[in-house]
């Protein structure tokens, strides 16, 4: 009896709470909500220039098109023509200046989606063309920035580099990435009585959408309710930019006094919304004979696009992750926030961290080749220590370093050393196909770097039949947040998890919630929900104590029952008794992350509550004649502390890895010379699919005593960190390419390492050695 446990507390590998609805098609996404009578459909009219002045815009044909009920542009906005999340530089509709190809100019509401979309193409716009700035390099050249340049210095990097026995310089480019959530951007606005508005928005940040809509409509925030039951994926893309769609739907609803739904098709979604920042990173590094870095200088140029959006924090995070797992005693990092005439880049899983980490990982790889050493050995000599060499370049002491254990475990379980030897022997005898292997580590800081965002709230109701309704400020995008938080509540009250009904994120239930981002959803909402459940339990224990005549402290909750001295009742019975005794059965909970805070002026302090760690070994085969390649085997050990839900966490680790691999190897965004995105559909933009999952994929959760900090049940965040495990694939490809040059030179391989990019790297490497490239040799042989 004593060992009996309620179903589904923390640590239990429960399936996603909506899993049965996802697979049967019954999960309600916004487009599945039954449409209210009179619903209109909206479409956005977008700019066909990257940089231009609008001389005139004639919307007569749009208004006259079949089915059109309303057309609005900037002048029709009663409130603010802006949805910028941090600074006001994101107009809902462009007024006189077009800043990217795809910028919204006006919007149409019509009886049907097709009518709205057709009408949106009929505007006659006269542009006076201006020269567009399209790349990060061009922006640096022109000193065009969305935000001031930042500079972090620690120690004396330039002297250290100059004095070091070896020195290398390099430049690497990494592309952006479209979030490619399966459910595109969508908002459904329903006018309600007395000028109020309900907006269903596919957003990671309902609270921000609420404010954006209120500002656009010029009404108080209390007049707008934003709801989101779930997103069909967000991946950061729905952190700040759903506001555009919600504002337009709400403005049209206000104008027409009818419900309005705005659903982007895939092409428009990709053309209009921001992506991961592409980066150009320059480095200059000095090191010793062991490969230990003496000093390093980074210049990071992140392409932000036309506006600031979240680019400040994203580029900050790139700077803060330019160390990855390595102790950089003397370091300088300059960060340019490049303003270009392209879409405003935004959050994407990792939030700039991956771009910072790819930089230092390439430095390590280049050092290893220069010295003729195993890159893993060079990684290890640079790892942070546990008691010394353990202070980051932003002065945070790392107290939870487990990278040594993780790498040691992975090296053993993946048979890294033996496979590396075998693969090199294979390459000796294989002239065309070359194999490569790489082990790369990850350390990722958890917390929002904007300190005020590290707060969360929860609302928990208990009904008289003992069932519960759980609401918190977090949003569900497939990552499994809702089930994890429900498990926390079930654990606290020792009841079955299935009696907890999980409900939509709703600004009218939990106010001022932060975005579900920075991987901190379960950390923060879990703690807030725990606080609410503890409050309920305290009230029930107090009541049981007085009702049964025992000390409240001695009341025990176990397996759906409550024990008070000799007496025991079911949880349901106790709830009913408490109700009749007029005990309040609804509670809120609140959480703020302790300890953190840092000074951005001096780049010092404690931006992160703790760190997540992991490592991956990837093995690839490259056809050196075509650049075609396969990932043959991947082994991962990843630290999630004490998992709240190992099944969900495994899904995040596997999915994150694949998404990171996709970013660095196959997802290529391509703009033409006029600044028009040409890869705006799955026909031209290749994301990894089920068949890209490596045939051997060994993923293990690192066993430990859990988070060193007092996180929710000692778990760790898992949403973003595994993405960066994908860096191992890029480095395995570099290793395979380097095989063609006897491992003596580092390939100049930019990301994404598509077959074309791999061929270019092979050619460049051969040219550097004064030899023809493998493909050229094959051609001459015929």
Applying CB under 6 A, the residues found at the interface with ligand MOS are 204, 236, 239, 347-349, 351, 517-518, 720
| DSSP, residue by residue, 587-609 | EEEEEE--S-EEETTTTEEE--S
Min. distance of Cβ 344 from ligand MTE in angstroms? 17
Distance CA(145)–CA(137), nearest Å, equals 11
Q: Which is nearer to ligand MOS, 44 or 347 (CB)?
A: 347
- Which residue, 263, 374, 362, is CA-closest to 322? 362
Q: Which is nearer to ligand MOS, 242 or 466 (CB)?
A: 242
Min. distance of Cβ 591 from ligand MTE in angstroms? 14
What is the token pair recorded at 488? 């926390």
Min. distance of Cβ 275 from ligand MOS in angstroms? 11
Q: Which is nearer to ligand MTE, 86 or 153 (CB)?
A: 86
Distance CA(79)–CA(86), nearest Å, equals 18
- Binding of ligand MTE at residue 382 (CB under 6 A)? no
Q: Which is nearer to ligand MTE, 132 or 302 (CB)?
A: 302
Work out which of 19, 233, 646, 706 binds ligand MTE, going by CB under 6 A: 233
Of these partners, ligand MOS, ligand MTE, none, which one is at the site of residue 521 (CB under 5 to 8 Å by kind)? Answer: ligand MTE
Which string of x and - marks every residue 30-69 that binds ligand MTE (by CB under 6 A)? ----------------------------------------
Q: Which is nearer to ligand MTE, 451 or 604 (CB)?
A: 451
Question: Segment contacting ligand MTE (CB under 6 A): 192-200, 329-337, 395-403, 717-725?
Answer: 717-725
Q: Which is nearer to ligand MTE, 234 or 466 (CB)?
A: 234
Q: Phi, psi at residue 667, to the nearest 5°? A: -85, 110
* Secondary element (H or E) of residue 198: strand 197-201
Min. distance of Cβ 349 from ligand MOS in angstroms? 5
Over its C-alpha atoms, the chain yields an Rg (Å, rounded) of 28
- Sign, CA dihedral 59-202-239-183, equals negative
Work out which of 45, 234, 259, 726 binds ligand MTE, going by CB under 6 A: 234
Min. distance of Cβ 283 from ligand MOS in angstroms? 25
- Binding of ligand MTE at residue 514 (CB under 6 A)? no
Q: Which is nearer to ligand MTE, 645 or 754 (CB)?
A: 645
Min. distance of Cβ 395 from ligand MOS in angstroms? 24
Min. distance of Cβ 244 from ligand MTE in angstroms? 19
Distance CA(715)–CA(56), nearest Å, equals 57
Q: Which is nearer to ligand MOS, 14 or 446 (CB)?
A: 446
What is the token pair recorded at 671? 């703009």
Q: Which is nearer to ligand MOS, 349 or 676 (CB)?
A: 349
Min. distance of Cβ 342 from ligand MOS in angstroms? 19
Of these partners, ligand MTE, ligand MOS, none, which one is at the site of residue 477 (CB under 5 to 8 Å by kind)? Answer: ligand MTE
Beta strands 331-339; 293-305: pairing state: parallel
Min. distance of Cβ 234 from ligand MOS in angstroms? 6
Question: Segment contacting ligand MTE (CB under 6 A): 146-154, 229-237, 285-293, 595-603?
Answer: 229-237
Work out which of 191, 274, 478, 614 binds ligand MTE, going by CB under 6 A: 478
Min. distance of Cβ 275 from ligand MTE in angstroms? 13
Cross-strand pairs, 577: none
Which residues, other chains included, contact 75 with Cβ-Cβ below 8 Å and sequence gap of 6+?
none
Count, residues near ligand MTE per rule CB under 6 A: 21
**510: buried, middle or exposed (CB in 10 Å: 19+, 13-18, 0-12)?**
buried
- Binding of ligand MTE at residue 483 (CB under 6 A)? no
Which residues, other chains included, contact 694 with Cβ-Cβ below 8 Å and sequence gap of 6+?
618, 631, 632, 633, 634
Distance CA(663)–CA(477), nearest Å, equals 20
- Separation of CA 390 from chain center: 27
Question: Segment contacting ligand MTE (CB under 6 A): 34-42, 287-295, 625-633, 714-722?
Answer: 714-722
The residue with its CB nearest to ligand MTE is 521
SS3 content of the chain, % helix, strand, coil (to 5): 35, 25, 40
Of these partners, ligand MOS, ligand MTE, none, which one is at the site of residue 624 (CB under 5 to 8 Å by kind)? Answer: none
Of these partners, ligand MOS, ligand MTE, none, which one is at the site of residue 478 (CB under 5 to 8 Å by kind)? Answer: ligand MTE
**527: buried, middle or exposed (CB in 10 Å: 19+, 13-18, 0-12)?**
buried
**687: buried, middle or exposed (CB in 10 Å: 19+, 13-18, 0-12)?**
middle
Q: Please give the positions annotated as active site.
A: 720
Beta strands 279-287; 293-305: pairing state: antiparallel
Q: Which is nearer to ligand MTE, 354 or 375 (CB)?
A: 354
Distance CA(102)–CA(343), nearest Å, equals 8
Q: Which is nearer to ligand MOS, 285 or 518 (CB)?
A: 518
Cross-strand pairs, 47: none
- Binding of ligand MTE at residue 477 (CB under 6 A)? yes
For residue 508, CA distances in Å to 100, 198, 199, 482 come to 35, 10, 12, 18
Distance CA(423)–CA(734), nearest Å, equals 14
Question: Segment contacting ligand MTE (CB under 6 A): 144-152, 208-216, 475-483, 562-570?
Answer: 475-483
- Binding of ligand MTE at residue 720 (CB under 6 A)? yes
Of these partners, ligand MOS, ligand MTE, none, which one is at the site of residue 481 (CB under 5 to 8 Å by kind)? Answer: ligand MTE
Of these partners, ligand MOS, ligand MTE, none, which one is at the site of residue 645 (CB under 5 to 8 Å by kind)? Answer: none
Min. distance of Cβ 429 from ligand MOS in angstroms? 44
**Do 202 and 242 form a contact (C-beta atoms < 8 A)?**
yes
The residue with its CB nearest to ligand MOS is 236
For residue 135, CA distances in Å to 49, 143, 302, 318, 368 come to 16, 12, 9, 18, 31
- Binding of ligand MTE at residue 520 (CB under 6 A)? yes
Min. distance of Cβ 477 from ligand MOS in angstroms? 8
- Which residue, 17, 28, 85, 30, is CA-closest to 515? 85
Torsion-angle region of residue 525: left (phi > 0), alpha (psi -120 to 50) or beta? alpha
Work out which of 83, 106, 188, 235 binds ligand MTE, going by CB under 6 A: 235
Distance CA(70)–CA(306), nearest Å, equals 29
- Binding of ligand MTE at residue 521 (CB under 6 A)? yes
Cross-strand pairs, 107: 44, 72
For residue 405, CA distances in Å to 375, 539, 613, 644, 704 come to 18, 44, 10, 22, 10
- Binding of ligand MTE at residue 517 (CB under 6 A)? yes
Of these partners, ligand MOS, ligand MTE, none, which one is at the site of residue 245 (CB under 5 to 8 Å by kind)? Answer: none
Which string of x and - marks every residue 323-352 that binds ligand MTE (by CB under 6 A)? --------------------------x---
Q: Which is nearer to ligand MOS, 18 or 447 (CB)?
A: 447
Distance CA(755)–CA(735), nearest Å, equals 15
- Binding of ligand MTE at residue 118 (CB under 6 A)? no
- Binding of ligand MTE at residue 479 (CB under 6 A)? yes
Distance CA(464)–CA(540), nearest Å, equals 13
What is the token pair recorded at 531? 């606080």
Judged by the rule CB under 6 A, the positions of this chain that interact with ligand MTE are 233-236, 349, 477-479, 481, 516-522, 652, 655, 717, 719-720
């Amino acid at each position: 009896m004593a060992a009996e446990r309620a179903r589904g507390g923390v640590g239990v590998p429960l399936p996603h709470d909506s899993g049965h609805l996802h697979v049967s098609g019954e999960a309600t996404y916004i487009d599945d909500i039954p449409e209210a009578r009179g619903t209109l459909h909206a479409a956005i009219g977008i700019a066909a220039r990257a940089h231009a002045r609008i001389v005139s815009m004639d919307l007569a044909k749009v208004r006259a098109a079949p089915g059109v009920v309303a057309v609005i542009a900037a002048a029709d906005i009663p409130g603010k023509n802006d949805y910028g999340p941090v600074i006001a530089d994101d107009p809902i509709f462009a007024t006189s200046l077009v800043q990217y190809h795809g910028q919204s100019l006006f919007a149409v509401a019509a009886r049907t989606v097709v009518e709205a979309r057709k009408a949106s193409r009929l505007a006659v716009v006269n542009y006076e063309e201006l020269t567009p700035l399209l790349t990060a390099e061009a922006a640096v050249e022109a000193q065009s920035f969305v935000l001031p340049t930042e500079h972090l210095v620690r120690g004396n990097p330039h002297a250290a580099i100059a004095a070091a026995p070896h020195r290398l310089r390099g430049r690497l480019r990494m592309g952006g990435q479209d979030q490619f959530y399966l459910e595109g951007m969508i908002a459904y606005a329903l006018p309600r009585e007395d000028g109020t508005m309900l907006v269903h928005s596919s957003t990671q940040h309902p609270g921000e959408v609420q404010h954006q809509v209120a500002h656009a409509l010029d009404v108080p925030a209390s007049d707008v309710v934003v709801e989101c039951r779930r997103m069909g994926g967000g991946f950061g893309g729905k952190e700040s930019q759903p506001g555009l769609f919600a504002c337009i739907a709400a403005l049209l609803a206000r104008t027409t006094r009818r419900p309005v739904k705005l659903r982007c098709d895939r092409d428009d979604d990709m053309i209009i919304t921001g992506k991961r920042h592409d980066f150009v990173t320059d480095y200059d590094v000095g090191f010793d004979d062991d490969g230990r870095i003496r000093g390093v200088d980074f210049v990071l140029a992140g392409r932000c696009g036309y506006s600031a959006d979240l680019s400040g924090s994203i580029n900050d995070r790139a700077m803060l992750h330019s160390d990855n797992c390595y102790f950089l005693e003397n370091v300088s990092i300059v960060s340019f926030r490049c303003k270009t005439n392209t879409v405003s880049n935004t959050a994407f899983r990792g939030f700039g961290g991956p771009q910072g980490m790819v930089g230092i990982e390439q430095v390590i790889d280049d050092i290893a080749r220069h010295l003729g050493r195993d890159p893993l050995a060079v990684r290890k000599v640079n790892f942070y220590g546990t008691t010394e060499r353990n202070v980051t370049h932003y002065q945070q002491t790392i107290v939870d370093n487990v990278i040594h254990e993780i790498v040691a475990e992975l090296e053993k379980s993946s048979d890294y050393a033996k496979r590396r030897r075998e693969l090199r022997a294979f390459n000796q005898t294989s002239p065309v196909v070359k194999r490569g292997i790489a082990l790369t580590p990850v350390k990722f800081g958890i917390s929002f770097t904007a300190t005020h965002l590290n707060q969360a709230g929860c609302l928990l109701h208990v009904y008289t039949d003992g069932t519960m309704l759980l609401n918190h400020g977090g949003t569900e995008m497939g990552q499994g947040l809702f089930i994890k938080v429900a498990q926390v509540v079930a654990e606290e009250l020792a009841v079955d998890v299935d009696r907890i009904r999980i409900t939509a994120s709703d600004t009218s239930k939990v106010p001022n919630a932060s975005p579900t981002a920075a991987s901190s959803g379960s950390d923060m909402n879990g703690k807030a929900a725990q606080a609410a459940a503890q409050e309920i339990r305290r009230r029930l224990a107090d009541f049981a104590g007085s009702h049964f005549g025992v000390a409240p402290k001695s009341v025990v909750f176990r397996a759906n029952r409550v024990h008070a001295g000799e007496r025991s009742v079911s949880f349901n019975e106790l709830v009913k008794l408490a109700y009749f005794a007029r005990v309040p059965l609804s509670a809120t909970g609140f959480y703020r992350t302790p300890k953190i805070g840092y000074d951005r002026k001096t780049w010092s302090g404690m931006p992160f509550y703790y760190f997540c760690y992991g490592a991956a070994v990837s093995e690839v085969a490259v056809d050196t004649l075509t650049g075609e390649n396969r990932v043959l085997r991947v082994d991962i050990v990843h630290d999630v502390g004490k998992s709240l839900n190992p099944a969900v966490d495994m899904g995040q680790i596997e999915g994150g890895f694949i998404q990171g691999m996709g970013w660095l190897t196959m997802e290529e965004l391509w703009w033409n010379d006029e600044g028009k995105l040409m890869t705006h559909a799955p026909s031209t933009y290749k994301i990894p699919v089920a068949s890209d999952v490596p045939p051997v994929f060994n993923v293990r959760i690192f066993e430990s005593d859990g988070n060193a900090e007092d996180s929710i049940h000692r778990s760790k965040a898992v949403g973003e960190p595994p993405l960066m495990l994908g860096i191992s694939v890029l480095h395995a490809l570099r290793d395979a390419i380097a095989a063609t040059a006897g491992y003596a030179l580092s390939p100049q391989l930019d990301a994404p390492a598509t077959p074309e990019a791999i061929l270019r790297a092979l050619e460049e490497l051969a040219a550097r050695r004064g030899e023809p490239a493998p493909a050229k040799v094959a051609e001459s042989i015929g």
